[in-house]
């Protein structure tokens, strides 16, 4: 079996990218690089990037390629990425995928979590998050400690971009701008499509078996 360690995970907003990245990186001992988490941290810290990104995220729009590409390239260049990485939420435009290839950043597999829009609406409507990065769902993955995080004990919150009208906007942008990236990796023979409607554990096992790590 081929062992694939430089991976990216794609899918609609709420398809479970962050949830799967969290489980997979523990099993594969590689870092997760989530552009969404990096941007939210930059907003919380009040950096220049955070200020630029904040208004796009709030409206459910993509942050411009020129803001995001440099951040990801710098992150992949760090020591902990030498043995591999899991990119979560990048690339999500053809411009980002092409910029990555131009920099010589190769990937072994592009996972695509296939989840229909009606399931997405239910998932994002019930999502609760913690500032430590943990992700919960009021029905499918509740915290055993109620309204606080199981990992660090901080209060759980609703993400600012999980309002119904913003979710609809994010989905619309995904269909127009990110679907071509899926075709881009399919054309390179690197796409692994996974049924993302199964439960969290089943989906993780399915991915691990597809990449030869089951």
- Told to check if 68 binds ligand AP5 by CB under 6 A, we report yes
DSSP states of the chain: -----EEEEEESTTSSHHHHHHHHHHHHT--EEEHHHHHHHHHHHT-HHHHHHHHHHHTTPPPPHHHHHHHHHHHHTSGGGTT-EEEES---SHHHHHHHHHTT---SEEEEEE--HHHHHHHHHTEEE-TTS-EEETTTB--TTTTB-TTT-PBPB--GGGSHHHHHHHHHHIIIIIHHHHHHHHHTT-EEEEETTS-HHHHHHHHHHHTT--
Out of 13, 31, 54, 84, which residue is the one contacting ligand AP5 (CB under 6 A)?
13
Q: Which residue numbers are catalytic?
A: 17, 92, 127, 159, 170
204 makes contact with ligand AP5 (CB under 6 A):
no
Least separation in angstroms between residue 56's CB and ligand AP5 is: 5
Name the residue nearer to ligand AP5 (CB basis): 80 or 160. Answer: 160
Contact assessment for residue 170 and residue 36, using Cβ atoms and an 8 Å cutoff: no
Q: Which of 24, 33, 57, 86 binds ligand AP5 (CB under 6 A)?
A: 57
Q: Does 56 bind ligand AP5 (CB under 6 A)?
A: yes
Q: Closest approach of Cβ 14 to ligand AP5, in Å?
A: 4
137 binds ligand AP5 (CB under 6 A): yes
| Residue 199 binds ligand AP5 (CB under 6 A) | yes
Looking at the Cβ atoms of 141 and 179, the one nearer to ligand AP5 is 141
35 lies in the site for ligand AP5, by CB under 6 A: yes
Binding site for ligand AP5 (CB under 6 A): 11, 13-19, 35-36, 39, 56-57, 60-63, 68, 89-90, 92, 96, 123, 126-127, 135-137, 140-141, 161, 170, 199-200, 203
């Amino acid at each position: 079996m081929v062992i694939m360690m430089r991976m990216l995970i794609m899918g609609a907003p709420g398809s479970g990218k962050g949830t799967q990245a969290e489980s997979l990186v523990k099993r594969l001992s590689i870092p997760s690089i989530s552009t969404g988490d990096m941007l939210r941290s930059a907003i919380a810290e009040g950096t220049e990037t955070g200020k630029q990104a904040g208004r796009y995220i709030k409206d459910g729009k993509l942050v411009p390629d020129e803001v995001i590409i440099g951040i990801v390239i710098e992150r992949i260049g760090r020591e902990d990425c030498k043995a591999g990485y899991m990119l979560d939420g990048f690339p999500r435009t053809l411009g980002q995928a092409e910029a990555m290839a131009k920099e010589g950043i190769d990937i072994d597999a592009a996972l695509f979590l296939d989840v229909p829009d009606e399931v997405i609406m239910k998932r994002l409507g019930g999502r609760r998050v913690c500032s430590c990065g943990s992700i919960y769902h009021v029905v499918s993955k509740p915290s055993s400690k109620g309204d606080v995080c199981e990992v660090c004990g901080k209060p759980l919150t609703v993400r600012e971009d999980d309002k119904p009208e913003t979710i609809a906007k994010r989905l619309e942008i995904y269909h127009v701008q990110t679907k071509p990236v899926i075709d881009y990796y399919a054309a390179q023979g690197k796409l692994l499509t996974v049924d993302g409607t199964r439960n969290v554990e089943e989906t993780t096992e399915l991915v691990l078996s597809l990449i030869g790590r089951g």
